[in-house]
Structure 1
Amino acid sequence: MTTAALGLGTYRIHRSALNAAVVRAAADPATAWIDTAPNYLNGQAQPLLAPALARRPVPVSTKVGFLTHQAAKDAAFDGALTRDEAERGHCLSTPYVHWQCARNRIELGRDRLDLVFIHNPEHTDGDPYEALRAAFIALEAEAAAGTLTAYGVATWDGFETGALSVPALHQLAVEAAGTQQHHLRAIQLPVSLVTAAAFAQALDGEGPIAQAADLRWQVYASAPLFGGELPHLATRELTALLNPELTTAQACLLAAASCPGVTRILLSASTPAHWAQAQEALRRPATPVPTLRKVLDVLAPH
């Protein structure tokens, strides 16, 4: 049993720390990965990343879905959004997805995007699968044109609420591509000792993480420390149960990285110390499944 690789998440990083964080994340080419989105840092994350990425060929995942005010205005001006779509602030229409992919390439300084996540499709008006169908058609066309390697679905609670399921996403991608050889290759969802529904299911070989793993998709765990709050919520007794040699934050991070089926942990670490501590934790042997079960049983609401 192995632990997931470490990737840099950019949602919570302060813009002044972004360049140095990219340098740290790129230090190990074998595992380097950066996750971002066009709406992060009020729309400035990708342009701010571009100079650092120009010097380092680090794989990047970005997103389509949420619109900043400026992006909505620009897309509407270009005819990629209707006025109603622009006002909603979230869109997955085929024209918009093509427009946002092109803008992502420009902002990141890349001719080809490594991975594009459809960002929180559960936020769309109406049936999320109808919105996803339009987005999948656009992303399959991008892949066919050579401007995209793969795409995925990033959600906060879509799997937990039943709004989304991995088998349904797979079937939708088959229909969009017209073949089993589609380019839907990843999901992103919160995995932590707090957001533990999919985590607990994965320990029994069930739920979205296990289903994605069966399809050989990548599984990206977001918010592994619950937005930095988990180390303050966990007790020393819990840390000792997980791994007494680690700090509380390290033990909680290792637990998430030990979830069967999770392939990458996304961490917004702004300081060298936090990144080094995370690397140290993930070099440890994976936390055994029986221990993870015991911890989740302790934390389960009664």
Structure 2
Amino acid sequence: MSEVRVMVECRRVSFTALEVEARAGRIGDYGVATWTGFEDAFTVADLLDIAARCGGPGHHLAAVQFPVSLVMLKPVAQALEGTGPLAEATAAGLDTFISAPLHSGELPAMVTDELAQLIDPGTTPAEAALRVTASTPGVKHVILGAGRAQHWQAAQHVLALPPLPDKTLHEVIDVLGA
């Protein structure tokens, strides 16, 4: 059996087990978290198809989680075009949880002051990086870790701001060559 078929079968077995648990009332809805799955293994449509085959039209697949950041800009570019996993999940009514918006804390050191000012004048590199992720069309929830209270407070402030204009997101993509 090929590796692809093994992975499809693993997803089918997993979704079937989750649907059994949901119908029994032991869990509510469920989601799929991935790092690179939407790049090389499946689409949102594939996941919805498996969920429907395992749980019927009233399946319990409700969310997807994957990384979006200045390092992983492809989902931003796709969302601006109305394609890719964010657009597909939104169109299907799935919740989207975005992980690694600061790329495990590495991004603030990678963002130059010039890039931060292009993104949002007056912001720190960390705030600018977070603004891009939070402003991406289709992003509903951002999963963020912070080691200090002031980092949480800064993140709360940034996440409460209105989204950046699409024009700014396009400029960032152009500058970073994504």
Task: Tell me if both proteins adopt one fold, taking TM over 0.5 as the criterion.
Answer: yes
Matches within 5 A, 1:164-183: 164-177=42-55, 179-183=56-60
Q: Any idea what SS the aligned residue of 1:188 has?
A: strand
* Contact 1:160 1:197 survives alignment (8 Å): no
Task: State the percentage of identical aligned residues.
Answer: 45
Count the aligned residue pairs.
176
Give the Cα separation in 2 of the matches to 1:276 and 1:173. Answer: 38
Residue number among 221, 232, 236 corresponding to 2:109 in the alignment: 232
Matches within 5 A, 1:64-103: none
Residue number among 83, 95, 109 corresponding to 1:218 in the alignment: 95
Residue number among 132, 137, 152 corresponding to 2:11 in the alignment: 132
Structure 1, unmatched stretches of 5+, are: 1-123
Does residue 1:243 correspond to 2:120, yes or no?
yes
Give the Cα separation in 2 of the matches to 1:283 and 1:197. Answer: 24
Which structure dedicates a bigger proportion of its chain to helix?
A: 2
Compared CA separation, residues 207 and 244, structure 1 to 2 (3 A): same
Residue number among 146, 161, 166 corresponding to 1:289 in the alignment: 166
| Deviation of 1:256 (Å) | 0.1
The structure with more radius of gyration: 1
- Residue number in structure 2 paired with 1:198: 75
Give the Cα separation in 2 of the matches to 1:169 and 1:184. Answer: 8
TM-score using structure 1 length:
0.57
Cα RMSD over matched residues?
A: 1.4
Give the Cα separation in 1 of the matches to 2:39 and 2:75. Answer: 7
- 1:94-131: CA deviation from partner (whole Å, max 9, x where unpaired): xxxxxxxxxxxxxxxxxxxxxxxxxxxxxx88532210
Give the Cα separation in 1 of the matches to 2:76 and 2:7. Answer: 23
- Residue number in structure 2 paired with 1:144: 23
- 1:26-83: CA deviation from partner (whole Å, max 9, x where unpaired): xxxxxxxxxxxxxxxxxxxxxxxxxxxxxxxxxxxxxxxxxxxxxxxxxxxxxxxxxx
| Deviation of 1:300 (Å) | 1.6
Amino acid at match of 1:132: R
* Contact 1:210 1:260 survives alignment (8 Å): yes
Q: Any idea what SS the aligned residue of 1:138 has?
A: helix
